[in-house]
Chain A
Amino acid sequence: MMKTARKKNLYQLAAWTWSWVATMAIATFGPKYIWDDHTVLTALAVSVNFANGILMIIANRNLFNKFDELERKIHLESLALTLGLTVVVGLSYSLLDTTNLIAYTAEISNLVLFIGVTYLVCVTINTRRYV
């Protein structure tokens, strides 16, 4: 019963994540390659992507609520580390850009990538610690 409910939440999160990625791609490349910078269509694509993102967050919270106590501990520790590292690394990265210590512009996408990788590594390490 618990496993079925959890699986359902996991599939829902996967579905919302993939559709969020798809709508993000449409909102990013659509104005240039599909609808020739039509403002209304661009606004619509961004709105759909934003709404999709909110639903993805809700699906993630629903899955989190289905975790048992050990899984919650693992994910909570990973979230705490990821949040801390993101703030510290993100601001240092931004500082490198504003002080011209790096030749290129600091992109938010690099930070998103960093968050994803950090969270994955933290969950893997924490899981190995307890299992």
Chain B
Amino acid sequence: MKNRLKVLRAENSFTQEDLADIIGVSRQTINAIEKEKFDPSLPTAFRISKLFKLPIEAIFYFEEN
């Protein structure tokens, strides 16, 4: 799954640490999501969506190879 988390985080001037604290996960988890090595759970995706005031599909999207 692809995502725009890194761009959105930069636009809102958050560090990975800031975002991790707000969402309630570790900084490593934010890093893994940004690098698209790990797909977040639905509650985490909802928390991110709520924070950036965007629908989930505007942040996370599926790209078929």
Closest Cβ neighbor of B25 among chain A residues: A68
Interface size class of A (residues with CB under 8 A): 10 to 19
A36 interfacial contact with B, CB 8 Å: no
B26 interfacial contact with A, CB 8 Å: yes
B29 touches A69 (CB 8 A): yes
Count of inter-chain pairs, beta carbons less than 8 A: 31
Closest Cβ neighbor of B24 among chain A residues: A2
Provide the main secondary structure of the chain A interface. Answer: helix
Chain A to chain B: the 7 pairs with minimum beta-carbon distance, closest first: A70-B29, A68-B25, A130-B32, A131-B28, A69-B41, A68-B26, A130-B37
A-B contact pairs, 20 of them (CB 8 A): A2-B21, A2-B24, A68-B25, A68-B26, A68-B29, A70-B25, A70-B26, A70-B28, A70-B29, A70-B32, A70-B38, A71-B29, A127-B28, A130-B28, A130-B32, A130-B37, A131-B28, A131-B31, A131-B32, A131-B37
